[in-house]
A and B are shown apart, each in its own frame.
Chain A
Amino acid sequence: MKKSWKDVDIALIVKKGGTAQDFKTGDWRSSKPVWDSEKCKQCLTCWLFCPDSSIQVKDEKMTGIDFEHCKGCGICAKECPFKAIEMEVEKK
């Protein structure tokens, strides 16, 4: 049941944190990063630069890309010193 103007919380604050994660921005993408794990030296430069925290890392190693949030800006591909990430046009 959606709330009326009389019932919404002041300033529409959301009573939890980290809510940006619930907002899927992946469908904004027009081109996508393709990661080549063979060329990757695990320097994590992409993780450092990604403005959307979309480089997935486990135990200090890159494991993939979060396509639910990656907007396809291409910064990771531009910054990768080993050309392990390349952008390709998104096919929808």
Chain B
Amino acid sequence: MSNIVAKTGNEAMAEAMRQINPDVVAAYPITPATEIVQIFSTFVNDGKVDTIFVPTESEHSAISACIGAAAGGARVMTSTSSQGLALMHEILYITAGLRLPMVICEVNRALSAPINIHCDHSDTMGSRDAGWIQIFSEDSQEAYDQTILAMKISEELFFPVMVTTDGFIISHAMSRLEVFDDKEVQSYVGEHKTPYNVLDIDNPITVGSLVLQDYYMEIKTQQAHEMMKAKEKIKELYADFNKKMKRNYSIIEEYFMEDAEFAIVALGSTAGTARYLCEKLREKGEKVGVVKPRIFRPFFAPEMVAILENVKGIAVLDRSDMMSSTGGHLFNELKSSFYRNSKQPAMKDYIYGLGGRDITVGDIENVLKDIKDFSNSKETTPDVKYITVRE
């Protein structure tokens, strides 16, 4: 049987979940992530997995059930999107604070109000400080591969991981997918690892106890340092995945960056559009490159600076806004990363595609024209521009 199949992003993530065969999946449906657990629930019904499936009354309950199961030593996954992730918000911090391995298949979608079911990164960015590792996917293939990789990262580092796709653009678009054999995935993810087990009745423990002024600072400092250390380990785990699973992923994907004068930085599906444009412009001799960070949390600041510091201008594409008057999330991270760096390329934020507004090759071409003008100008503001919007 061929290992090349046609699958949507949601089908790809559900397939990865089937092959991982988690012990527990607790979930609540939400567009556009519904299919992931819907498909997975048919795997449960058809006996294709050994998973205990817990349909809950809300996302808050879903992830709470996942925490209970994870603390009890189970390999746990769930899936959500948008308002669902927002409803999980307080429990996201608890998952990370308890250092429980868990993987969420997150489909990026706008947040209300007004109600919108289409893609932007507001939901995932809203939980950027919760202590989760956040991985973005450009297509179904990355979503599939990185879901499997995420389970490993989560259990090796004891950090929960969310793997994201872009709502509808990836989640519902069918594309070519190269899948592994079930045995390959099982052998890769290996034996489940857990930091502790509350059901080990011979060695009773208390999890989630009250910790006030006396120890809270210590445990949060430890968690922050573990996240710093995680960066090197994530690099190693990506390299290990490439070797074992015959893939070629880097933590930051660079496209024509060796001699680029202008760079586009984008997360997720838009990076593909930017690369297409980059290729066309390169044929005309324009020195343009694309940088796609796969991981937003932890943020690989020195690595991003090393790739970008020699360009004249950086155009950051942000599919989320911070409503702070200072631009979007990716822009703010990158701007901070460049603080006190000896080389300071011009940098401008382009907020685009909110609520699923389409972004075209032409839109990105305009961004490039704008960043060229901005780099040549003496003006340093405004450095945030809203594009793909009616003026």
Q: Are A12 and B205 in touch, CB under 8 angstroms? A: no
Q: Are A6 and B222 in touch, CB under 8 angstroms? A: yes
Q: Are A19 and B218 in touch, CB under 8 angstroms? A: no
Q: Are B218 and A13 in touch, CB under 8 angstroms? A: no
Q: Which residues of A contact B196 (CB under 8 A)?
A: 10-11, 13
In the complex, per-residue mask of B174-198: 1 if CB is within 8 Å of any chain A CB, else 0: 0000000000000000000001100
Q: Which residues of A contact B3 (CB under 8 A)?
A: none
Q: Which residues of B contact A11 (CB under 8 A)?
A: 97-100, 195-196, 207-208, 219
Q: Is there a chain A Cβ closer than 8 Å to B1's Cβ?
A: no
Q: Which residues of A contact B209 (CB under 8 A)?
A: 12-14, 19
A3, A12, A15, most chain B CB atoms within 10 A: A12
Q: Are B206 and A3 in touch, CB under 8 angstroms? A: no
Q: Are B218 and A8 in touch, CB under 8 angstroms? A: yes
In the docked arrangement, what's the CA distance between A3 and B214, Å? Answer: 10
Q: Are B205 and A14 in touch, CB under 8 angstroms? A: yes
Q: Is there a chain A Cβ closer than 8 Å to B248's Cβ?
A: no
Residues facing B in A1-43 (CB within 8 A) are 2-6, 8, 10-19, 23
In the docked arrangement, what's the CA distance between A14 and B195, Å? Answer: 13
Q: Is there a chain A Cβ closer than 8 Å to B339's Cβ?
A: no
Q: Are B210 and A23 in touch, CB under 8 angstroms? A: yes
**Closest beta carbon of chain A to B205's beta carbon, Å:** 5
Nearest opposing residue in chain B for A17, CB measure: B204
User: What does DSSP make chain A's interface, helix, strand, loop or mixed?
Assistant: loop
* Also in contact, A10 and B195, with CB within 8 A (given A4-B218, A5-B218, A19-B209): yes
In the docked arrangement, what's the CA distance between A16 and B225, Å? Answer: 26
Partner of A12, one of B158, B203, B204, B215: B215
Q: Are A5 and B203 in touch, CB under 8 angstroms? A: no
* Also in contact, A16 and B204, with CB within 8 A (given A5-B221, A10-B158): yes
Q: How many residue pairs between the two chains, A and B, have CB atoms under 8 Å in the bound complex? A: 56
**Closest beta carbon of chain A to B98's beta carbon, Å:** 5
Partner of A8, one of B100, B158, B210, B215: B215
Q: Which residues of A contact B100 (CB under 8 A)?
A: 11
In the docked arrangement, what's the CA distance between A75 and B156, Å? Answer: 47
In the docked arrangement, what's the CA distance between A37 and B195, Å? Answer: 49
In the docked arrangement, what's the CA distance between A23 and B210, Å? Answer: 9
Q: Which residues of A contact B210 (CB under 8 A)?
A: 23
Nearest opposing residue in chain B for A14, CB measure: B206
Q: Is there a chain A Cβ closer than 8 Å to B306's Cβ?
A: no
In the docked arrangement, what's the CA distance between A4 and B205, Å? Answer: 21
In the docked arrangement, what's the CA distance between A14 and B98, Å? Answer: 12
In the docked arrangement, what's the CA distance between A5 and B208, Å? Answer: 17
**Closest beta carbon of chain A to B132's beta carbon, Å:** 15
Q: Is there a chain A Cβ closer than 8 Å to B211's Cβ?
A: yes
Residues facing A in B23-73 (CB within 8 A) are none
Q: Which residues of B contact A15 (CB under 8 A)?
A: 203, 205
Nearest opposing residue in chain A for B218, CB measure: A5
Q: Which residues of B contact A13 (CB under 8 A)?
A: 196, 205-207, 209
Partner of B222, one of A8, A16, A19: A8
Q: Are B219 and A16 in touch, CB under 8 angstroms? A: no
Q: Which residues of A contact B222 (CB under 8 A)?
A: 5-6, 8, 10
In the docked arrangement, what's the CA distance between A23 and B214, Å? Answer: 14
Q: Which residues of A contact B225 (CB under 8 A)?
A: 5
Q: Which residues of B contact A3 (CB under 8 A)?
A: 215, 218
Q: Are B206 and A19 in touch, CB under 8 angstroms? A: yes
In the complex, per-residue mask of B205-236: 1 if CB is within 8 Å of any chain A CB, else 0: 11111110011011101100100000000000
Q: Which residues of A contact B206 (CB under 8 A)?
A: 13-14, 16-19
In the docked arrangement, what's the CA distance between A28 and B163, Å? Answer: 44
**Closest beta carbon of chain A to B256's beta carbon, Å:** 43
**Closest beta carbon of chain B to A66's beta carbon, Å:** 19
Q: Which residues of A contact B214 (CB under 8 A)?
A: 2
**Closest beta carbon of chain B to A26's beta carbon, Å:** 16
Q: Which residues of B contact A12 (CB under 8 A)?
A: 209, 211, 215, 218-219
**Closest beta carbon of chain A to B127's beta carbon, Å:** 19
Given contacts A13-B209, A14-B205, A16-B204, 7 further A-B contacts (CB under 8 A): A4-B218, A5-B217, A11-B97, A11-B207, A11-B219, A13-B207, A14-B209
Residues of A participating in the B interface, judged by any CB pair closer than 8 Å:
2-6, 8, 10-19, 23
Shortest 7 CB-CB distances between A and B: which pairs? A17-B204, A14-B206, A5-B221, A5-B218, A11-B99, A19-B206, A12-B219
